[in-house]
Structures are given as structure tokens and as C-alpha cells.
Amino acid sequence: MVSSKNSVALLRNLENLKIKKYFTDVIGSDQVQHFKPAPDGVLSIINKYHLNSDDCIMIGDAIFDLRMGKSAGVHTCGVTWGAHDPYSLLKEKPDFLLSKAEELLTI
């Protein structure tokens, strides 16, 4: 997970939501020199785990998430149940635009 939140707050939120176990790693804004929409967070994960960017996807509810993913050279997926409206997300030309969480299982 890459977030514009500080890593301490991010980890606390994931623990409170009882979903921390679903994430191998988290990158907070305090762990990169430049944060969203700069690609630093995504690139950090790609480099750390020796991933192929063609196999990666940035999923986010904000235009900044999509811009970060595009800057990092990974696929992008906008989700419409968060920060930005579908039209704003669509203007960023994501590879996918989803309106229900269940649809994440189909990409």
C-alpha cells in the first residue's frame, strides 16, 4: 500500500480496520522524498520486491493515485467510492474504472 498518510497513521488505520494482514508492505509519505502524485512510493515497492511494472496496478480513489501510477509506469484502476467523482477519475484515463469493490476481483 502506498499512501499520502504518515506510515504510523497508516499502520494504525489498517490495524483498526483489521485489514493490515492483507498488505505485505506499506509506504507512507514519510518514507519517500516525493509523495503523490510523484511515482516514488510505487517505484519503492517495485524495486524492493523486484517486481515487473507490467504486472503491477495502482488502485485508487483519487486522481493523484492514478497520476502516481501512470508516472510509475504501472496499470491504473480508479474506484468511484472515494475521494473523487467518476468523471474526474475518467479524465485521468485509467486502465480500469470500477464502481463496486467486488469488481476488483475481476481485473
In 3D, which of 95, 1, 8 has the Cα closest to residue 49? 1
More confident residue, 39 or 103: 39
> Looking at residue 83, what is its pLDDT?
82
**For 69-92, what is each residue's pLDDT tens digit?**
999 999 999 999 988 899 999 999
Complete domains list, the chain, with CATH: 7-106 (3.40.50.1000)
pTM given for the model? 0.87
> Looking at residue 27, what is its pLDDT?
93
Amino acid code (one letter) for 27: I
> Looking at residue 82, what is its pLDDT?
84
Sheet holding 75-79, edge to edge: 57-60, 75-79, 96-98
**For 14-43, what is each residue's pLDDT tens digit?**
999 999 999 999 999 999 999 889 999 999
